[in-house]
Chain A
Amino acid sequence: MSQLRKFQQEFHTALLDQNNVKNIEQLIDSNGISADKRINVYRNNFKFNLTEALRSTFPVIYALLGEQAFTIWSYRFIAEAPSTEGNLHNYGVKFPKFIQQQPEYSDLQLPYLVEIGEFEWAYHEVFHETEIQPIKIENLASVNPSQYNEIVFEIHPASRLLKSNFPLIKIWRLGNGLDSDEVDLDAGGVSVLIARRELTLEFQQLSNEDYNFLRLTADGHTLGAIVDTIGSENPDFNLQECLQRQFQRNNFSGFYIET
C-alpha cells in the first residue's frame, strides 16, 4: 500500500472513530494543541456539515425533536449510513426509516415522525425535480376514441404521491411555522400529491378515487384497466371529472397508447 493511501485510510479512520487515532496522532505536529483536539476540529466539521444537510431536508423533524435530540440521531445516522457522494442531494433518503429503529423512538410519543420524514423527503425530491411542460387536455384530440381505453398517462415528474395515517399537511405547516393552531392527531390521515409546477409547490389533497387513479396511473396501468379497478369498488366513479381535475392541476406530462 502506498504511503499516501495508508495516510488517507488512517486519517479517515480517526475521523470516523475517535478511539482509533493512535496511528495518525504520531504523524501530526501538535504545536501546542494536542493532535487529538486538532483531529476533533475536522471530526466536528464533518459531522456538522452532514447534520446541516439533514436539517435542511428535514426541518419538521428538527423542530419536533429539538436541536439536541436531532443532533444525537444525526450523528448516529452518519456513523451507520455514511455519505457516499460529494453531492449531498441524495443524503438522508434512509433517515426516516432509521429514526424508527432507534431505541428511544417509542418513548417519544411522536408516532407520526416517520411519516412526516417521508413527507419531507418527497418534498425535497419534488423541489429539485426535472422541469417539464405539462400536457393539456387538447393533446388528446389526436387519439382515436376507439383507443381511449389503451391510454397510459405519465404523471408529471415533479410529483410524489403519499397516503398517511396522520394529518401530515397540518403537521408540516405547524413544523415550518406556517400555522400555529394545534393539530388534532385523531383527525386521520391524508392522501396527497406533493406537486411542483414551475415555482409553486402545492399539496393536492385527494379523494380516495383520485388517489387510486393516480396510484394506478403511476404504476403504468391503462385507462381502461383503471376504470375497471376503481369502478368495481365504486360504481359512481366519474372518469371524465377525474381526468378534468388532473388536467386542471397539470398532473400529466405525457401519455402513450399501449399496443
Chain B
Amino acid sequence: MSELTSALKPIPAMAGIGLRAEHYELIATEKPKCGWFEVHTENYFGNGGIPHHYLHRIRKDYPISFHGVGLSLGSVDPVNTKHLQRIKQLIAEYQPGLISEHLSWSSFNGVFTNDLLPFPLTTEFFNHFKDRVNSVQDFLEVSILVENPSTYLRFKHDEIPETDFLNDLAKQTGCGLLLDVNNVFVCATNHDFSAAEYIDNINIEHVKEIHLAGHTKNHFENGSILIDTHNTVVDDLVWSLYQCAIKRTGQIATLIEWDTDLPEFEILLNEASKAQNILDQVNVAAA
C-alpha cells in the first residue's frame, strides 16, 4: 500500500480550501496563494467537460486531496465496486495527496440518501466497518483517511466510545484519521460531552488532516441541535478547539470546508489565512 501512497503528490502541512466550481476560473487564472485544494471526488465522476478541464489546470499548480461523500462506507449493502473503480481511475489521473471518506453510511438495499447517517457504536458495527475499510484500501491499493462525522442523535445501545472506535480502526486497518474539529464541537454540544477531552482521547499519530467548517443552530421547543451546514465562517469556539488540537498534532494539513451559500473566494482565503497564522505560531512555539 505504501508504495503507491508515496507516488502521490503530498498535501503540505498548511491551510487548504475546498474547491468549488464557482471559483474554478479565478483559481486557474489568478493562482492565489493557498497550500492545497480538496475536491469532492464524486463531482468528477463525469467523463470530462468543464470540471475536469479546471481540475487538470489547478492540479498543475497545487496539491489536491480527494474527499469522498458517496461511498456509503458503513452500509451493510455490498461494496459498490463500480463506484470504487471510478475513484481508482481518478486517483491514477490526478494523483491526489490524500483520499478520505466518512465514518458513516448512506444507503440501504441500493437506495441512497446521499447523506451521512448515524450509526450505533457497537462491536458489530466496528467489525463491519473495519472489514469495509480493509476491502476499500485493498481495492484502491492506497490507504485512506476516515473522518469523524457530525451526528444529531445517539443510540442507547452504544458500546464503544467514538474515539476508541476511531483509534482501533486506524490501528487495525492502517487507515489514517481526518479530524474534523467542527464535527467534534457539533457532537460535543449535541451530546453533552467535552470536545477537548474527545481530542485528547484521539491517538494523534493517526491524524493526517484536519477539517474546519461553519455550523448552524436549529432551535426546538426543548433545546437546540447544531447542524454541520458548511455555509458560514468557522465559529470562534471551534477556532479555540483547533488551537488545542494542533498543539497535539503539530503543523498539519488543515482544510476550510464551505459548500453551500458559497461566498466570494476572498472570504475563503481569509479563513485559510486565519488557520495558516495559527499553524505558523505553532511552528514558532515548537522551534
Interface residues of chain A, those whose CB is within 8 Å of chain B, are 2-5, 7-9, 11-12, 15-16, 27-29, 31-35, 37-39, 41-42, 45-46, 49-50, 52-53, 82-89, 126-132, 158, 196, 198-199
Give the residues in chain B near A38, CB-CB below 8 Å: 152-153, 225
A contact residues around B75 at 8 Å (CB): 8
Chain B: CB-nearest residue to A37: B220
Q: Which residues does chain A contribute within 8 Å of B107, judged by CB atoms?
A: 12, 86
A25 to chain B, nearest CB (A): 10
Interface string of B202-218 (1 = CB under 8 A from A): 00000000000000001
Give the shortest distance, in Å, between A121 (CB) and chain B (any CB): 14
- Interface status of B3 (Cβ within 8 A of chain A): no
Nearest CB in chain B to that of A196: its residue: B49
B112 within 8 A of A: yes
Sorted nearest first, the 9 A-B pairs with minimum C-beta distance are A86-B70, A128-B46, A12-B108, A131-B48, A38-B153, A46-B113, A46-B115, A130-B47, A87-B45
Q: Report the Cα distance A131→B154, complex, angstroms.
A: 46
Residues of chain B at interface, number, CB under 8 A: 53
With CB as the reference atom, state the residue of chain A lying closest to B125: A4
Of B8-16, B116-124, B163-171, B250-258, the segment with at least 4 beta carbons within 8 Å of chain A is: B116-124
Given contacts A129-B49, A198-B53, contact A35 B70 (CB under 8 A): no
Minimum C-beta distance from B196 to chain A (A)? 20
Instruction: Mark interface residues in B91-112 (1 if CB within 8 Å of A CB, else 0).
Output: 0000000000000011111111
Given A7-B120, A84-B110, answer yes or no on A27-B157 (Cβ-Cβ < 8 Å): yes
- B 3-60 contacts with A by CB, 8 A: 42, 45-53
Decide yes or no whether B179 CB sits under 8 A from chain A. no
Would A83 and B220 count as touching, CB distance under 8 A? no
Is A41 within 8 A of B112, CB to CB?
no
A46 to B70, CA, bound (A): 13
Is A41 in contact with B115, judged by CB distance below 8 angstroms?
Answer: no
Neighbouring A residues of B115 by C-beta, 8 Å: 42, 45-46, 49
Interface centre among B46, B114, B122 (most CB of A within 10 A): B114
- In the complex, whether B88 has a CB less than 8 A from a CB of chain A is no
Among the listed B70, B80, B191, which residue makes an inter-chain contact with A31, where contact means beta carbons less than 8 Å apart? B191
Bound-state Cα–Cα, A92 to B75, Å: 24
Flag if A85 contacts B70 (CB, 8 Å).
Answer: yes
Known: A3-B122, A127-B49, A128-B48. 19 other contacts (CB 8 A): A4-B120, A4-B122, A7-B120, A9-B109, A16-B111, A27-B120, A28-B153, A33-B225, A46-B114, A82-B112, A85-B80, A86-B42, A86-B68, A87-B86, A89-B42, A128-B46, A128-B50, A131-B47, A131-B53
Chain A residues with CB below 8 A from B260, complex form: 52
Residue of B46, B53, B72 with highest tally of chain A CB at under 10 A: B46
Q: How far is the CB of A40 from chain B (nearest CB, A)?
A: 9
Please determine whether A5 and B49 come into contact, CB atoms closer than 8 angstroms.
no
Smallest beta-carbon distance A4→chain B, Å = 5
User: Known interface pairs A4-B125, A83-B112, A86-B42. Does A41 touch B152 (Cβ–Cβ under 8 Å)?
Assistant: yes
B210-258 CB contacts (< 8 Å) to partner A: 218, 220, 222-223, 225, 227
Which residues does chain B contribute within 8 Å of A85, judged by CB atoms?
70, 80, 83, 112
Q: Which residues of B contact A86 (CB under 8 A)?
A: 42, 68-72, 80, 83, 106-107, 112, 114
- Which one, A2, A8, A29, A49, contacts B114 given CB within 8 A? A49
Set of chain A residues within 8 Å of B223, measured between Cβ atoms: 32-33
Which listed residue, B46, B76, B154, B157, touches A5 by the CB 8 Å rule? B76
A214 to B83, CA, bound (A): 34
Question: A83 CA to B154 CA in the complex, in Å?
Answer: 26
Cα of A89 to Cα of B42 in the assembled complex, Å:
8
Measured between beta carbons, the chain A residues less than 8 angstroms from B70 are 85-88
**Which residues on the B side are within 8 Å of A3 (C-beta)?**
122, 124
How far, in whole Å, are A38 and B227 apart by their CA atoms in the complex?
Answer: 11
A84 to B77, CA, bound (A): 12
The answer to whether the Cβ of B266 comes within 8 Å of any Cβ in the partner chain is no
Assembly CA distance A33 to B226 (angstroms): 12
CA distance A31 to B158 in the complex (A): 14
List of B residues within 8 angstroms of A84 by Cβ:
110-112
Name 23 A/B residue pairs within 8 A (Cβ), A-sorted: A3-B122, A4-B128, A8-B75, A9-B108, A12-B109, A12-B117, A29-B154, A29-B155, A31-B191, A32-B223, A33-B220, A33-B222, A33-B223, A41-B153, A50-B114, A52-B260, A53-B114, A82-B112, A84-B112, A85-B80, A87-B86, A158-B48, A199-B53
Q: How far is the CA of A49 from the CA of B229 in the complex (A)?
A: 11
Contact (A89, B155) CB under 8 Å given A2-B76, A4-B122, A12-B111:
no
Residues on B with C-beta less than 8 A from A27 are: 120, 155-157
B197 contacts chain A at the CB level, 8 A cutoff: no
In the docked arrangement, what's the CA distance between A88 and B128, Å?
26
Complex Cα–Cα for A201 and B111 (A)? 33
Residues of A within 8 A of B154 (CB): 28-29, 31
At the interface, yes or no: B192 with Cβ under 8 Å from chain A? yes
The one of B48, B68, B124, B153 in contact with A39, judged by C-beta atoms closer than 8 angstroms, is B153
